[in-house]
Amino acid sequence: MRQIDFTNTQVASSETARNINRGVVLNLIRKRQPISRADLARVSGLQRSTVSLITEQLIREKWVVYGPTGRLPRGRRPTFLRLNDRRGILVADLRPSEITVAVADVNGKFLSHQAFPTAADPQVAVAELGARIRHLRESHSDLIFEGIGISVPGRFDPVTNQIVFAPNLHWPPFNLKEPLERATGMRVDLENAANACVLAEVWFGRAEKVRDLVVVTISEGVGTGVFTNGQLARGRTGMAGEFGHVPLDPSGPKCTCGGRGCWEVFASNRAALRYYHEESSAAPDGPTFQDLLSLADAGDALALRALERMAHAIGRGMRMVVAGLAPEEIVIVGDVTRQWKRLGPIIEAEVAAASLVGNPPRVRPAAAEPGMARLRGTVALVLQKHFGPSGHTSPGRARAGKRVHVRA
Ligand SMILES: [Zn+2]
């Protein structure tokens, strides 16, 4: 692997090398469980004695437990290892209309979840969120909790922890992390919703080997998470990926960001409702986006036309993404994917029309259910620091971990 960014490079101490190897082994157990120590050594390229030392430490730390015993035709039976599903993670998906809190195990299996309306005042919302999280933790007292992961509908500055840009949330700049850490006594990790969906794809989904991927979340707004060269792009003050607020038509409708004619204004769920109302006589508080999908299922011509206009706008905006980032895959997260059979080909055709060289990127719906992608991503957000960078370590890169220079 070429190493260009030397500012993030340091000489590896023996402790750094140990930590890398530990992450590699833990990640292999996660992906291939149940797995024997012999197979761990074979796949990782590490010596068996090193694998034994690391797995003993992981068992002591309660990350790993003995799993089912393998049945071999002859000889001794190896003891298999798996992740300890008594390790839990608390996660929340903060949206403009409601907040979902949930408990997941280390394999991303959800054990319970609940939702409540998002308060207009961030202080009230944080107090309520803290109380719900404490209650969930108490009702799962058999779990060892690793931390709290939260998906936010906007961008936050990783230096100040302030939510700096969340036009659909209508909150003033606000530090969500520290008050929540005080309220719960646990570490809180925040992530932009679209970035969380990138993590869900890379960690739990079908994108394990993809190095250049863009996730587009379509809900009240349009968010973009950029995974480039195997890393999440963040940019200055965490603002990378705001394609949703690039004006495509400066004379278009007003946007919540203060601009006009942004991609979001033409491609979001709210845009589809606006298209519907332009043609129908329904009351202004008429159908919700879910209703629009049901109407389309029932063959309602106006609903179908509104969704098709939305799909064209989604695809046309993706041309910016394709021209700027040349991803291998574009993954769409949102309820709109429930109509993928009808709308997918429209989006694909718009993207293909903009392809400059070779085949256009694959465009597909997310692996997880629209409602679950953000929550799954926040599970990965909390876990990833134990499993190596982005949890993306392949056996080939596992061997690269023994090199002298490593990314800090
Ligand atoms: Zn905008």
Q: What is the pLDDT of residues 228-270, one digit of tens each?
A: 998 999 888 888 999 999 999 999 999 999 999 999 999 999 9
Q: What is the pLDDT of residues 115-154, one digit of tens each?
A: 999 999 999 999 999 999 999 999 999 999 989 999 999 8
For ligand 1, the distance from its centroid to the CA atom of residue 42, given in whole angstroms, is 51
Q: Which of 218, 202, 201, 343 is nearest to 268 (CA)?
A: 218
* Confidence tier at 355 by pLDDT (50, 70, 90): confident
For ligand 1, the distance from its centroid to the CA atom of residue 165, given in whole angstroms, is 11
For ligand 1, the distance from its centroid to the CA atom of residue 253, given in whole angstroms, is 10
Sequence-ordered list of residues with C-beta below 8 angstroms from that of 299, at least 6 positions apart, any chain: none
For ligand 1, the distance from its centroid to the CA atom of residue 224, given in whole angstroms, is 13
Whole-model pTM: value is 0.86
205 vs 140, residue with greater confidence: 140
For ligand 1, the distance from its centroid to the CA atom of residue 276, given in whole angstroms, is 21
In angstroms, rounded to a whole number, what is the distance separating the alpha carbons of residues 277 and 292? Answer: 11
Evaluate if residue 70 carries a pLDDT over 70. Answer: no
For ligand 1, the distance from its centroid to the CA atom of residue 260, given in whole angstroms, is 7
For ligand 1, the distance from its centroid to the CA atom of residue 265, given in whole angstroms, is 7
For ligand 1, the distance from its centroid to the CA atom of residue 18, given in whole angstroms, is 46
